Amino acid sequence: MSVPILKQSQYLIATIQSALSDEDLLALQTKLVERVGKFRSRGVIVDVTALDVLDSFASRTLRDIAHIIRLRGAETVIVGIQPEVAFAMVQLGITLEKVSTALDLEEGLAYLDKRLQHAPAEH
Amino acid sequence: MSTAELNSDIKKASESSTNRLRELVAHLRQNRTQLREEWLRRIFEAKLLTAMSRDEVFAEATSVYDSYVGALETRTLEALQAYAQKLSERIIPRGVETHEVVGIVLLLRDVLARSLFAKYHTEGDLLNAVLDAYEPAANSIAITVAVGFVRERERVIREQQEAIRELSTPVLQVRERLLILPIIGVIDPQRARQLTEQLLRGIRANRARVVVIDITGVAAMDSHVANHLVQTVEASRLLGATVIVTGLSPEIAQTLVKIGVDLGKMNTVGDLQGGIEEAERLLGYKVVLTQEVHAQISGLNDGA
């Protein structure tokens, strides 16, 4: 099942609504990377609130998305990781290093606003 | 032994022993007052149930006696079991010990057996037959009551442990978006796990952005607990919260470096005050001592 990507001013918001297969994840990656350039977005939020498990492939793909999008000149925030999921991930040694995280969508938007305030804006 | 097994034990009695039991029950009913008095005398003599008043012991003994005879008569243990559980619920908070409960049941068993000896001592065979019927039933009853008591006690203990554990890891909000988690005492793996769970839930519930974990009250830490702490810090970050660890004692700091725990990802500040100040800085708070209070304090100092 594919993930809807919404454009909200200079951000893209991808809300994962159910467990994704590996192909779905890779499709999400391709689509996000492409849209960031198309809409000249400055930030990307991936919302995983609905997921009650994040396996190593999903985590690695999220990390890759964040790194690729940084190369495309935008910031990525993963939001909505559940407490149980977070601890399970850490126990498996998945820590999403160098990837920004926030509690929920609202916090993620606030984080991006703050980050981009300090960065040179391209109006 | 399970209730079902006990029940089948007590029911195994053959036709003739059924009659014996009936006879026995009639005898116990007839001599109720006298046997109960004898039993009470023995209880007081053995200094059991000292936590309860004489009247209370009398009331409980009466109902235990009746339930006991009832169990012999109906040859089912359910009613007695339910009674034993209620009795345990009542007397455990009073500080009644296991040996006392087992003691009074065995005393009753003894008192009743003696009365049977007294009644049938002239007829050896009949006495044997009566005891054949009485002994298994009395044993089942004693086991049922003792097990019921111990089970109830264990339940109370488990509940208390749970309560202590919850009390021992409070997650407190000191400011909007700022939580503190003071840890005091020994951290075992189970507590460490619970602590993490509560913290992560607290971060979500309070929408915390910064958490100060204060371990001033932790005397020692092994590599297992230290690694767990590191994992907690990382899991909190996945929820979008920054963790500051404060109050690492010189001993713990040295141990952690010696056993080579990777603390590179941890944000540490010397004491709780410093940790809260750092957290306020991260959140953009600025705490200012107002002039009025300042004047008041110096005024107080001058007066002293």
Q: What is the pLDDT of residues B183-199, one digit of tens each?
A: 988 888 888 888 899 89
Chain A residues whose CB is inside 8 A of the B240 CB are 79, 101-103, 107-108, 111
Q: What is the C-alpha separation between B285 and B288, in angstroms, rounded?
A: 10
- Give the minimum alpha-carbon distance from A33 to chain B in angstroms, rounded to a whole number: 22
C-beta neighbour count of A68 within 10 angstroms = 16
3-state secondary structure of B180: strand
Interface contact B116, partner A, CB < 8 A: no
- Across the interface, do B238 and A81 touch by the CB < 8 Å criterion? yes
Domains of chain A: 5-117 (3.30.750.24)
Q: Output the six-digit token pair for B241.
A: 């919260």
- Give the minimum alpha-carbon distance from B190 to chain A in angstroms, rounded to a whole number: 15
Rounded mean pLDDT, B34-61: 85
Lowest mean pLDDT among A72-86, B73-87, B149-163: B73-87
pLDDT tens digits for A12-57?
999 999 888 999 999 999 999 999 999 999 999 999 999 998 888 9
With residue B178 as reference, give the H or E element that holds it: strand B178-184
Give B270's contacts (C-beta < 8 A, 6+ positions apart): B246, B247
Of B177, B101, B188, B93, nearest in space to B142 by CA: B101
Question: Does pLDDT of B7 surpass 80?
Answer: no
pTM listed for this prediction: 0.61
Radius of gyration of chain A (CA): 14
- Across the interface, do B240 and A101 touch by the CB < 8 Å criterion? yes
Residue among B196, B209, B234 minimizing CB distance to A95: B234
ipTM: 0.79
Q: What is the C-alpha separation between B170 and B274, in angstroms, rounded?
A: 20
- Give the minimum alpha-carbon distance from B236 to chain A in angstroms, rounded to a whole number: 8
Q: What is the C-alpha separation between B136 and B41, in angstroms, rounded?
A: 25
Interface contact A53, partner B, CB < 8 A: no
Q: Which of residues 185-244 of B touch A (CB under 8 A)?
A: 196-197, 200-201, 203-204, 207, 209, 231-232, 234-241
Residue among B207, B209, B235 minimizing CB distance to A87: B235
Under a CB-based contact definition with an 8 Å cutoff, are residues A52 and A82 in contact?
yes
Q: What is the C-alpha separation between B206 and A39, in angstroms, rounded?
A: 35
Q: What is the C-alpha separation between B45 and B49, in angstroms, rounded?
A: 11
- Across the interface, do A90 and B197 touch by the CB < 8 Å criterion? no
- Across the interface, do A102 and B240 touch by the CB < 8 Å criterion? yes
Domains of chain B: 3-164 (1.10.490.10), 172-296 (3.30.750.24)
Rounded mean pLDDT, B109-134: 84
Q: How confident is the model at residue B304 (pLDDT cuts 50, 70, 90)?
A: very low
Interface contact A45, partner B, CB < 8 A: no
Q: What is the C-alpha separation between A74 and A61, in angstroms, rounded?
A: 17
Under a CB-based contact definition with an 8 Å cutoff, are residues A35 and A5 in contact?
yes
Under a CB-based contact definition with an 8 Å cutoff, are residues B217 and B273 in contact?
no
Strands (E), chain A: 5-8, 11-15, 43-47, 75-79, 100-102
